[in-house]
């Protein structure tokens, strides 16, 4: 039958819509990159991006390109050697080495990465939902291509632009693992998952706990369904080996600088205190870094001092910490930007119209797949993980966006359920 999933999976009938989604997604991201660069140039204040975090990444990229010490010197000229992990600065350094110091070059490379995410979402949806649900995978790819937040994410010089394709690569490899039940078959996807996870942690270390949790879900599923234990052991060893191989240069470098093991960055304490302190509101406000009992410390002591302060605040003020957690959860799931500067009525209304339907469809899709452990672990896992994480750390809808990208497959399922009553097993 021409309208059957089988017919869609033959020949070029499904390839053209996917190609259009990828090409359209790339064009929209190129336009966004040009507009953002125009806005930055028009400001004329010497910045490279609209958000302050980009300045750190751009400076660190210069240290890599020029062979200087990888460090940020701030807050009373105190050097910070592990303020950020090197993944995204290394990417920017490569862009600057090849394309020059104009930030537009890096934005255009990120536009290509954003278009690659459209294809990766398609592959992830197929691997997770099944080859007979190709139409749903195409819908997920189309949502990824035109989603306004995803488009803007590619245009800004922030780590999300590189983190998301790495996250999708891990999820795709993990989804492939889910269908393998022999030791030889799990080796390649396990190595790919470990390498992608390691690269993703070097870009965004806050994701470090999600990857073992997702693979543990697969291992428990394998054992619960009484499959062989040997593939689980082989996959665990291969994933750990690939992850360690990617992370090892950073670990060695940190051991030389600090004299002991620093797994990711020495910024967790400041980030945690940002979310849990007497003046916390749920939004990020790092002015405490200039306090006289904080800035003179070296970064290791500073990290430990702030981490201890955040935990002491939560322990001594459990009610306040719980209320803050709810505020942060609301900020995380907000359909519109949280920043006051971006809270105009027009922008708020437009964001609500653009974001509310996908979020509702994701919820419908997750409910439809509520018995599918793989969908919970891989499609919903990232967005739920970051939501839980930012109930402790400072929160914003920005931190939700990376997890939304794989969840577009849930939105596709939700849309299918919303527009028709599916037959058993249909996509």
| pLDDT tier at 6, thresholds 50, 70, 90 | very low
* Burial class for 278, CB neighbours closer than 10 Å (0-12, 13-18, 19+): exposed
What are the CA-CA distances from residue 303 to residues 82, 298, 306 (Å)?
Answer: 11, 9, 5
326 within some domain: no
Claim to verify: residue 255 and residue 210 sit in the same structural domain: yes
| pLDDT tier at 188, thresholds 50, 70, 90 | very high
- Token digits for 167? 């996250």
Claim to verify: residue 187 and residue 220 sit in the same structural domain: yes
Could you read off the pLDDT of 352-371 as tens digits, one per residue? 888 899 999 999 999 999 99
What are the CA-CA distances from residue 160 to residues 22, 139, 225, 306 (Å)?
Answer: 19, 22, 36, 25
Domain that holds residue 120: 1-158
- Token digits for 59? 């400076």
Could you read off the pLDDT of 92-123 as tens digits, one per residue? 999 999 999 999 999 999 999 999 999 999 99
Domain count, the chain: 2
Burial 317-344 (b: 16+ CB within 10 A, else e): eeeebeebbebbbebbebbbbbeeeeee
| pLDDT tier at 7, thresholds 50, 70, 90 | very low
pLDDT value for 4: 42
178 within some domain: yes
208 within some domain: yes
| pLDDT tier at 83, thresholds 50, 70, 90 | confident
302 within some domain: no
Provide CB contacts within 8 A for 312, sequence distance 6+. Answer: none
Instruction: Flag whether pLDDT at 347 surpasses 80.
Output: no
Claim to verify: residue 10 and residue 152 sit in the same structural domain: yes
Instruction: Flag whether pLDDT at 187 surpasses 90.
Output: yes
276 within some domain: no
152 within some domain: yes
Claim to verify: residue 154 and residue 197 sit in the same structural domain: no
Query: Among 262, 293, 315, which residue terminates a domain?
Result: 262
Claim to verify: residue 90 and residue 203 sit in the same structural domain: no
pLDDT value for 14: 65
> Average pLDDT for residues 187-201, to the nearest whole number?
97
Query: Among 133, 158, 183, which residue terminates a domain?
Result: 158
CB 408 within 8 A of CB 147: yes
Claim to verify: residue 149 and residue 171 sit in the same structural domain: no
Q: How much is the pTM? A: 0.93
Query: Among 262, 290, 325, which residue terminates a domain?
Result: 262
Claim to verify: residue 167 and residue 152 sit in the same structural domain: no
Claim to verify: residue 116 and residue 188 sit in the same structural domain: no
181 within some domain: yes
Q: Poorest-confidence range of 6-15, 149-158, 349-358, 418-427?
A: 6-15
> Average pLDDT for residues 140-154, to the nearest whole number?
95
What integer best gives the mean pLDDT of the chain? Answer: 90
Instruction: Flag whether pLDDT at 255 surpasses 70.
Output: yes
> Average pLDDT for residues 243-253, to the nearest whole number?
97
Name which residue leads in pLDDT, 354 or 374: 374
Claim to verify: residue 63 and residue 151 sit in the same structural domain: yes
């Amino acid at each position: 039958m021409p309208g059957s999933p089988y017919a869609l999976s033959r020949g070029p009938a499904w390839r053209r819509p996917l190609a259009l989604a990828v090409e359209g997604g790339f064009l929209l991201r190129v336009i966004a990159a040009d507009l953002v660069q125009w806005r930055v140039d028009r400001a004329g204040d010497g910045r490279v991006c609209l958000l302050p975090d980009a300045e750190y990444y751009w400076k660190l990229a210069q240290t890599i390109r020029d062979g200087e010490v990888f460090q940020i010197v701030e807050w009373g000229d105190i050097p910070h050697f592990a303020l950020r992990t090197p993944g995204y600065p290394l990417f920017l350094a490569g862009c600057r080495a090849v394309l020059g110091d104009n930030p537009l070059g890096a934005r255009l490379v990120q536009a290509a990465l954003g278009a690659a995410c459209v294809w990766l979402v398609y592959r992830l949806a197929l691997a997770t939902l099944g080859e007979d649900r190709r139409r749903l995978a195409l819908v997920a790819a189309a949502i990824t291509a035109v989603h306004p937040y995803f488009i803007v994410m590619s245009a800004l010089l922030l780590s999300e632009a590189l983190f998301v394709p790495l996250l999708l690569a891990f999820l795709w490899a993990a989804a492939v693992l889910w269908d393998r039940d022999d030791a030889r078959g799990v080796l390649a996807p396990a190595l790919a998952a470990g390498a992608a996870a390691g690269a993703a942690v070097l870009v965004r270390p806050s994701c470090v706990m999600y990857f073992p949790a997702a693979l543990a879900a697969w291992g428990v599923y394998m054992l619960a369904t009484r499959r062989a234990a040997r593939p689980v052991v082989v996959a665990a060893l291969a994933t750990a080996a690939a992850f360690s191989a990617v992370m090892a240069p950073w670990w060695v470098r940190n051991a030389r600088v600090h004299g002991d093991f620093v797994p990711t960055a020495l910024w967790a304490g400041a980030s945690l205190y940002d979310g849990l302190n007497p003046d916390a509101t749920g939004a990020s406000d790092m002015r405490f870094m200039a306090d006289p009992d904080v800035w003179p410390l070296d970064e290791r002591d500073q990290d430990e001092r702030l981490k201890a302060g955040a935990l002491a605040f939560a322990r001594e003020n459990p009610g306040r910490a719980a209320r803050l957690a709810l505020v942060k959860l609301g900020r995380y799931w907000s359909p519109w930007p949280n920043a006051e500067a971006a809270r105009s009525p027009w922008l708020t209304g437009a964001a609500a119209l653009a974001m509310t339907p996908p979020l509702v469809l994701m919820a419908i899709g997750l409910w439809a797949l509520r018995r599918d452990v793989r969908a919970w672990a891989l499609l919903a896992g990232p967005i739920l993980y970051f939501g839980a994480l930012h109930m402790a750390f400072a929160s914003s809808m920005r931190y939700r966006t990376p997890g939304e990208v794989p969840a577009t497959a849930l939105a596709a399922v939700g849309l299918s359920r919303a527009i028709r009553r599916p037959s058993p097993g249909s996509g």
